[in-house]
Every structure is written in structure tokens, then in C-alpha cells.
Homo-oligomer: A and B are copies of this chain.
């Protein structure tokens, strides 16, 4: 993968990193599972390995999604937005995407000024992240 050809614009500067936004969407259900950032290396590794890699802005490190939990994201398709500063990856999610055990990180809905849990819990984070 020659990233030069895809002309991405890593214009989101957080800390010392140049980043794009990456949205992960289930390739079958079209459910939005999570959003995170990728630096150039994370994007390149995602394309090359077909497993989603991100840049963790909190831990300041490259992050293969699933490296701790086993909940890898197999990448089926990659879409690029008009400004070339965001990608939409359509994935097959092993287990759940959310570190709190839910299928999607967007498991709460704003209703009458309160957050209500509406998502489905698909694994127990205490077991998955225990080691």
C-alpha cells in the first residue's frame, strides 16, 4: 500500500501526531461500532493486514484493536471522505467493539436529558481484560 496515492490528509493534530478520524461500522448490520484516530502507520497497517489499527491518543501508542481483548476487527472495505481526513471502515467485529463489553461504543441514548443504556452487552470486560 502506497499511502501517497490515497492522498489522505492527516490534518487532525493531537499531541505530536498527525491523524485522521476512523469510524468502524459493521459491514453487515451497518451499526456504527466505534470511532477513533489513525496516524499514518495505523492506517498503513490496517490496509496491509486487514485488521483495524488505531492511534490511541490517551495511551499515545499504536493500537491493534483486539490486542488485549481478542476482539479484532477484520476490515472488509475502506471508504474515504471528501476532505480526505476521515475514513469509514466496514468491518467484521469479533466479540464486541466496546471495552465496556457492549457490541457498540454508542450503547447509550440521550433521552429527556439523560443517558439511557440501550446497547447489548456481548462480553464481560472483567474476564476479557483480566490478564
**Which of A's residues lie within 8 Å of B, judged by CB?**
1-2, 5-7, 12-14, 21, 23, 25, 29-32, 34-35, 47, 77-83, 86-88, 98-100, 102, 105-110, 113-115, 118
Contacts and interface: CB of A to CB of B under 8 A. Distances in A.
How often does this chain occur in the complex, in copies? Answer: 2
Given A35-B35, A86-B35, A88-B32, A6 B110 contact: yes
Contact of A80 (B30, B47, B110): B110
A5 B114 CA distance: 7
Given A1-B113, A14-B12, A105-B82, A35 B23 contact: yes
B79 A110 contact: yes
A114 B3 CA distance: 10
